[in-house]
Amino acid sequence: MQVSMIVNGEEVTREIEGRLLLVHFLRDHLGLTGTHWGCDTSNCGTCVVWLDGEPVKSCTVLAAMAGGHEVRTVEDLEQGGELDPVQRGFMECHGLQCGFCTPGMMMTARALLDRNPDPSEEEIREAISGQICRCTGYATIVRSVKWAAAHEASTPAGGAS
Amino acid sequence: MTTTDERPAGFENNDHKPIGHGRMLRKEDPRFIRGKGNYVDDVQLPGMLHCAILRSPVAHARIVSIDTSAAEAHPKVKAVVTGAALTGLGLAWMPTLSGDVQSVLATDKVRFQGQEVAFVVAEDRYAARDALELIDVEYDLLDPVIDVRMALDPSAPVIRDDLDGKQNNHIFDWETGDEAATEAVFASADVVVSEDIVYPRVHPAPMETCGCVADYDRIDSRLTLWSTSQAPHAHRTLYAIVAGLPEHKIRVISPDIGGGFGGKVPIYPGYVCAIVGSIVTGKPVKWMEDRSENLTSTGFARDYIMRGEIAATRDGKILAVRTNVLADHGAFNGVAAPVKYPAGFFGVFTGSYDLQAAYCKMTAVYTNKAPGGVAYACSFRITEAVYLIERIVDCLAYELEMDPVELRMRNFIQPDQFPYRTKTGWVYDSGDYEPTMRKALELAGYDELRREQAERRARGELMGIGVSFFTEAVGAGPRKDMDILGLGMADGCELRVHPTGKAVVRLSVQSQGQGHETTFAQIVAEEIGIPPADIDVVHGDTDQTPFGLGTYGSRSTPVSGAAAALVARKVRDKARIIASGMLEVSVADLEWVKGAFHVKGDPGKSVTIQDIAMRAHGAGDLPEGIEGGLEAQICYNPENLTYPHGAYICVVDIDPGTAQVKVRRFVAVDDCGTRINPMIIEGQVHRGLTDGVGMALMEMIAFDEDGNCLGGSLMDYLIPTALEVPDWETGFTVTPSPHHPIGAKGVGESATVGSPPAIVNAVVDALKPFGVRHADMPLTPSRVWDAMRGVPRPPI
């Protein structure tokens, strides 16, 4: 079947199998390997992308279901050569180690800050609680998101496609 | 509440400061935060095919027949391979890390659920999976051995009938320490406390599963393997030995690795399947296991059933410890450990205490479970050793009605006793325990916590305070004592300074997230004064790096870090001679101030390392006997292991209605000697503490009586999320290693090792009003509930 969608602001059209998962569509068909895959059961969240502005686990979305919708991935966080404050926050506060969960964590964090510009520690922990990090112990991710919240003013908020 | 050093504003130029050690942002992060990391599954080659593996649905069965005809007829399938086909290639079996053999694809029997039976190579990953459904295997079911306590029963089925003359499920007996001397101390001691302590089977479960891309070039007979390997050089040599491929024609590349934690040390059958798939089809072949395959077939950790005993005087002087261990090794003995240490470094179960005697006896057996015994974020079984001693010391404190901190302080090895030889023969390099303990007490506000606990107990609330104090043995190891399958545990390092004063350092160890590109640049920067930003760190490619045994057991900084410092000093020594020529003074008249040689007494007269690099490569004269260029290579053989230590304090609250444990606070004070990048150290400590919460409260790979794995997905194998862990509170003390060139010790795994006993001790402390002295991990609500009702049960 043919599927068309907007990915990171650009329209893409591909011939796919109906059962193809969105995560594999992004990675294998579009080469957007920043979105990762880590489990079979929608538990780990390394595959989180935005679907029409909402964070979703792309291992649990068929590419066909995203047809006609807008998808945003980690590759789109940096805009015009300017890093998103979330990206800067993760670097600044050591919010990553192996980097595998990081894209999903950042996409969730960006969505959180767009709705709640000054989240509490509890709100940040709640927001990322559907995702697993095996490296950081989460405290530095919390600090990273808080850092981003404190530095939002320096770049345009959001920047969604 | 956290004690991390706060970062000054204006971080952007941090990387360009000419610094060595200190907090520095990571050089690898710019690619990761852009989604531009390069993990194995990101590798796409033209014409690449996909491999999928058919696995046994049962724990123990004879294979009657395998029909692959329908799979072979699938239009997208390029190859279907069974154990019989591998037998023809001599590849049906491969050596494990412990000198046993493991089946690549089962030929005779399947011996655990999830064992590899056949593989398919197809045009895409979905088609490969489809074809697995078309393979028809007929099994003749056999009774499985699941209860490890029954493995040596004469009636137990023999799992390894592939081994000549094998009549039982026994693997090895091992002992350490002095049995008679220990018995004598126990016989005359005032107090003897015993406890049965189980360390359940757990799994490293990195976020990235295992996988590889194999690309065999038939014309050149060259194999390139992108692989999730923590030890690319060791893997290359083993592939050469197993497959008979010439070693110089094998290139193993470990690109970015999405966490390893020991689970990516062994060679798994899937890697061999992908290689065979590429050889058979003549195309590149990718294999990535799914999460269930990861949890059910790749290396587990722990699975020790321990009987701990401790002897002491009435006033709390610990005299001796003794333990008897039954070790479940699964269907193949794949334990990751140096050859001379079949139980890894479990011998360090004497802990941080000055004892009169110690003795350990262990028996290892086969069961119908996945093989492994990997060093999951620990240095070869030290996690079990530390848990045993720190749990049994708390049991002693319970019996003596003594504060667990006071009991530990009374028995610490004293600073003037280092280097300290334990009763099991290990030589602790350095340590100063009491200040570390006191710092943790201070950060935690220990006395105030005890007061609060008394008040809460009076109100019927369940609050617990748990303490652990660990000494780890990390950085394997001296070549004379330690090897893996005959390969000595040394590490190479090369440093090349380019004409303009930039440099490249090449390592044999392999980061899985530890930040080697940063830490090793800092180590070299500290020694030769070239800014870390000007030093490229190359690792993870056997064609580009010197030989060494890789990253696990917290050995990168103790071994490879030492190599990096020493190779930089070698370069600096040569630079000094060149500088003496440039400044026309003798080398003795030169003074090294980070980054430049100055003439003593005439500080205005100097040359920088960059000036020297240009001269070394230039057309001008060099001092007599000095070759051009500015580079060096070494292979570092450590004199001893390094012995980091730490004091951990955990505070838990237990809901009396649901028995749910909440970790309210966790204070960790670590001493890993010289600290290279405090930010990275703190991150690694946080990581291990989270592991500890997982193992103590949530994680367990369990099996039902038929051998079905009950922890085969992340819905069943529970890993902590941000909601299960507190905001960590960390601190540090510094006791340098006397034999490491910069005084550093390993730290990457300290917290995984040290935190489980602190958490369990806290839970048991909270349950004191119920008369509970011990309860086994994982302390899930149902198990805590049972303990509260006076019927604690072992998890296996």
CB A16 within 8 A of CB A63: yes
Q: Which residue of B has its CA nearest to A35?
A: B35
* B567 and B693 assigned to the same domain: no
Q: Which of B575, B603, B636 is the last residue of a domain?
A: B636
What domain count does chain B have?
Answer: 3
Q: Of the candidates B754, B505, B735, which has an alpha carbon nearest to the alpha carbon of residue B632? A: B505
Question: CB A100 to CB B34 under 8 A?
Answer: no
Does residue B170 sit within a domain? no
Residue B732: in which H helix or E strand, if any? strand B729-732
Question: CB B722 to CB A142 under 8 A?
Answer: yes
The residue among A46, A49, A98 with the most chain B CBs within 10 A of its CB, best to mutate, is A98
* B445 and B324 assigned to the same domain: yes
Does residue B3 sit within a domain? no
Q: Which residue of A has its CA nearest to B10?
A: A92
Residues of A in contact with B41 (CB under 8 A): 27, 33, 36-37
Give the nearest partner residue to B714 out of A34, A39, A103, using CB atoms. Answer: A39
* B91 and B134 assigned to the same domain: yes
Quick one: tokens of B38? 């390069």
Residues of B in contact with A97 (CB under 8 A): 259, 513-515, 683-684, 687
Give the minimum alpha-carbon distance from B468 to chain A in angstroms, rounded to a whole number. Answer: 19
- Helix, strand, coil percentages, rounded to 5, for chain B: 30, 25, 45
Give the Cα separation of B593 and B589 in Å (integer): 13
* B494 and B585 assigned to the same domain: yes
Residues of A in contact with B256 (CB under 8 A): 98-99
Question: CB B7 to CB A92 under 8 A?
Answer: yes
Give the Cα separation of B83 and B103 in Å (integer): 9
Give the Cα separation of B613 and B585 in Å (integer): 18
Under 8 Å CB-to-CB from B627, ≥6 apart: which residues? Answer: none
Q: Of the candidates B210, B207, B202, B204, which has an alpha carbon nearest to the alpha carbon of residue B293? A: B210
Give the minimum alpha-carbon distance from A89 to chain B in angstroms, rounded to a whole number. Answer: 10
Give the minimum alpha-carbon distance from B10 to chain A in angstroms, rounded to a whole number. Answer: 10
Give the Cα separation of B228 and B550 in Å (integer): 12
Task: Tell the residue number behind the tokens 């290359």, with chain if given.
Answer: B236
Which three-class secondary structure string do you get for A34-92?
Answer: CCCCCCCCCCCCCCEEEECCEEEEHHHCEHHHHCCCEEECHHHCCECCECCHHHHHHHH
Strand-pair partners of B506? B494, B538
3-state class (DSSP) for residue B312: strand
Give the minimum alpha-carbon distance from B103 to chain A in angstroms, rounded to a whole number. Answer: 26
Question: CB B207 to CB A32 under 8 A?
Answer: no
Domains of chain A: 2-76 (3.10.20.30), 85-154 (1.10.150.120)
A112-123: b (≥16 Cβ within 10 Å) or e: bbeeeeebeeee
Give the Cα separation of B208 and B222 in Å (integer): 27
Task: Tell the residue number behind the tokens 């390092």, with chain if given.
Answer: B493
Residue A159 pLDDT > 50, yes or no? no
Give the nearest partner residue to B259 out of A92, A134, A139, using CB atoms. Answer: A134
Give the nearest partner residue to B208 out of A38, A91, A124, using CB atoms. Answer: A38
Per-10-residue mean pLDDT for chain B, 796 residues long? 40 52 95 98 98 98 98 98 96 93 97 98 98 98 98 98 97 98 98 98 98 96 97 96 91 98 96 97 98 97 98 98 98 94 96 98 98 92 98 98 98 98 98 98 98 98 98 95 92 98 97 96 96 96 97 95 98 98 97 93 94 97 96 97 98 98 98 97 98 98 98 96 98 98 97 98 98 97 96 88
Q: Which residue of B has its CA nearest to A31?
A: B42
Strand-pair partners of B109? B62
Give the nearest partner residue to A137 out of B34, B124, B690, using CB atoms. Answer: B690
Residues of A in contact with B687 (CB under 8 A): 97, 134-137
The predicted pLDDT at position B243 comes to: 83
Give the minimum alpha-carbon distance from A73 to chain B in angstroms, rounded to a whole number. Answer: 9
* B111 and B135 assigned to the same domain: yes
3-state class (DSSP) for residue B643: coil
Question: CB B41 to CB A33 under 8 A?
Answer: yes
Interface size A-B, in CB pairs within 8 Å, comes to 175
- Give the count of beta carbons closer than 10 Å to the beta carbon of residue B371: 29
Residues of B in contact with A18 (CB under 8 A): none
Give the Cα separation of A52 and A47 in Å (integer): 16
Q: Which residue of A has its CA nearest to B11?
A: A92
Give the minimum alpha-carbon distance from B8 to chain A in angstroms, rounded to a whole number. Answer: 11
The predicted pLDDT at position B242 comes to: 84
Residues of B in contact with A32 (CB under 8 A): 35
Give the Cα separation of A155 and B710 in Å (integer): 48
Q: What are phi and psi of B777, to 5 degrees?
A: -70, 160
Q: Which residue of A has its CA nearest to B29?
A: A91
CB B259 within 8 A of CB B512: yes
Q: What is the CATH number of the domain that holds B447?
A: 3.30.365.10
Does residue B180 sit within a domain? no
* B242 and B317 assigned to the same domain: no
Task: Tell the residue number behind the tokens 């590889």, with chain if given.
Answer: B212
Does residue B182 sit within a domain? no
Give the minimum alpha-carbon distance from B653 to chain A in angstroms, rounded to a whole number. Answer: 18
Q: What is the CATH number of the domain that holds B241?
A: 3.90.1170.50
Does residue B406 sit within a domain? yes
The residue among B14, B33, B665 with the most chain A CBs within 10 A of its CB, best to mutate, is B33
Under 8 Å CB-to-CB from B446, ≥6 apart: which residues? Answer: B405, B440, B465, B649
Give the minimum alpha-carbon distance from B612 to chain A in angstroms, rounded to a whole number. Answer: 34
Question: CB B26 to CB A87 under 8 A?
Answer: no
Quick one: tokens of B210? 């295992």
Q: Which residue of B has its CA nearest to A27?
A: B42
Strand-pair partners of B62? B109, B140
Under 8 Å CB-to-CB from B32, ≥6 apart: which residues? Answer: A96, A99, A102, B256
Handedness of CA A100, A104, A105, A110 (dihedral sign): positive
* B499 and B451 assigned to the same domain: no
Which three-class secondary structure string do you get for B216-245?
Answer: EECCCCEEEEEECCCCHHHHHHHHHHHHCC
Question: CB B33 to CB A90 under 8 A?
Answer: yes
CB B43 within 8 A of CB B534: no
Does residue B600 sit within a domain? yes
Does residue B652 sit within a domain? yes
* B526 and B565 assigned to the same domain: yes
The residue among A8, A77, A94, A125 with the most chain B CBs within 10 A of its CB, best to mutate, is A94
Give the nearest partner residue to B687 out of A17, A24, A97, using CB atoms. Answer: A97
The predicted pLDDT at position B462 comes to: 98
Does residue B22 sit within a domain? no
Question: CB A94 to CB B682 under 8 A?
Answer: yes
Give the Cα separation of B326 and B173 in Å (integer): 10
The predicted pLDDT at position B19 comes to: 73
Q: Of the candidates B331, B282, B288, which has an alpha carbon nearest to the alpha carbon of residue B44? A: B288
* B542 and B629 assigned to the same domain: yes
Give the Cα separation of B65 and B531 in Å (integer): 63
The predicted pLDDT at position B8 comes to: 42
Question: CB B679 to CB A142 under 8 A?
Answer: no
3-state class (DSSP) for residue B204: coil
Cα–Cα–Cα angle for B327, B330, B332, nearest 5°? 115
Give the minimum alpha-carbon distance from A68 to chain B in angstroms, rounded to a whole number. Answer: 24
* B471 and B615 assigned to the same domain: no
Question: CB A40 to CB B11 under 8 A?
Answer: no
Give the nearest partner residue to A41 out of B31, B209, B291, using CB atoms. Answer: B291
The predicted pLDDT at position A40 comes to: 85
Quick one: tokens of A70? 């807008």
Query: Would you give the distance in Å from CA B494 to the centre of its chain?
Result: 25
Give the Cα separation of B763 and B661 in Å (integer): 7
Q: Which of B244, B277, B297 is the last residue of a domain?
A: B297
* B440 and B352 assigned to the same domain: yes
* ipTM at complex level: 0.96
Under 8 Å CB-to-CB from A84, ≥6 apart: which residues? Answer: A77, A78, A106, A110, A148, A155, A159
CB B756 within 8 A of CB B690: no
* B724 and B665 assigned to the same domain: yes
The predicted pLDDT at position B18 comes to: 53
Q: Which of B636, B656, B687 is the last residue of a domain?
A: B636
Residue B80: domain span: 41-142+209-257+264-297
Residue type, B775: A
